[in-house]
Amino acid sequence: MSDTVIVESRPVFPFTAIVGQDEMKLSLILNVIDPKIGGVLIMGDRGTGKSTTVRALVDLLPEINVVANDPFNSDPLDPELMSEQVRQKFQKGETLEVKKKKITMIDLPLGATEDRVCGTIDIEKALTEGVKAFEPGLLASANRGILYVDEVNLLDDHLVDVLLDSAASGWNTVEREGISISHPARFILVGSGNPEEGELRPQLLDRFGMHAEIGTVREPDLRVQIVEQRAAFDEAPLEFRTNYENSQKALSQKLVEARELLKKAELDYDLRVKISQICSELNVDGLRGDIVTNRAAKALAVFEGRTSVTSNDIFRVIPLCLRHRLRKDPLETIDSGNKVREIFQKVFE
């Protein structure tokens, strides 16, 4: 269990103290509001605060209802998000003990084995006692939470396949010696990496709902501000966090309210048609780009306290939702978003 890192054990840098990197912060916030957006891939230079920002998100994560003493964070009301044991109790009408728990964020260590990620079946116990003895892995802990993969482009291919399967189906299945166990594994997949260390396989790239590009801050004043903040945090982390307590609480409350408001969000039919027209003109494969853009635009509207999506909401999110879906030639670099904005202006003029 030692390599499971639930990022709450040490003081983390406050999210509201992070200067710049608006694309990354917005993408993460929208995924917390609507986890069905499908996660975010953050690519950029070393030392640009990718990991710091993702880990800072932990403070802001809202609480959810989970079934007590269940390693899969089962939802007490949704059978699709329940482990097998909990679902059986639910179907029999048994009372489930419910508790509130903060959405968890699980770090996937680079050297993790497949057993550590997926979980293992105790064959000896299964054969001698006739019970399905399952030791849950990281995917079980990440159910209904966030799975963070730093240096995602260095991840072993077989682990990439495991993540793809789980991200696509929302379930993790472990099979060994004819024994099969499945459990829900619905998580927000957050990956970060440096493009210099290799590109991602197109199949994995497409699985991320959004793609944020992070550059090194060039303005000298901002650089000085960032360096001073980091030094102050390293010197006295708890004291530094106290200065941002109010802004952290305000943002956290805003996220809770946005999640509630999301059910009422509306996206007019003509705007939906224009989103699909942009995807079509950009020759985006499949419909995932259309779906993610619709969801992200609604999440942005409710984050700003509105239930009606505007064309400006779409303009702000569509480059993040489509830029990584445009590449047809493997030698091409990922578009900065200019191509997407050009087609947007053309369709919305």
- Indicate which residues carry an active-site annotation: 288
Residue located via tokens 């007590």: 68
Residue located via tokens 């299964």: 126
Asked if 117 and 108 count as a contact pair (C-beta separation under 8 A), the reply is yes
Buried b (16+ CB within 10 A) or exposed e, 83-115: beebbeebeeeeebeeeeebbbbbbbbeebeee
The length of the chain, given as a count of residues: 349
How big is the CA angle at 256 (ends 250 and 258), to the nearest 5 degrees?
100
Asked if 271 and 44 count as a contact pair (C-beta separation under 8 A), the reply is no
Task: Return the amino acid letter for 155.
Answer: L
Asked if 177 and 123 count as a contact pair (C-beta separation under 8 A), the reply is yes
Asked if 194 and 44 count as a contact pair (C-beta separation under 8 A), the reply is yes
Hey, CA dihedral for 71, 72, 76, 79, is it positive or negative? negative
**Got the DSSP string for 70-106?**
-TT---SS-GGGS-HHHHHHHHTTPPPPEEEEEPPEE
d(CA 82, CA 96): 11
Asked if 39 and 217 count as a contact pair (C-beta separation under 8 A), the reply is no
SS3 call for 57? helix
d(CA 41, CA 324): 9
For residue 109 the two structure tokens come to 């260590």
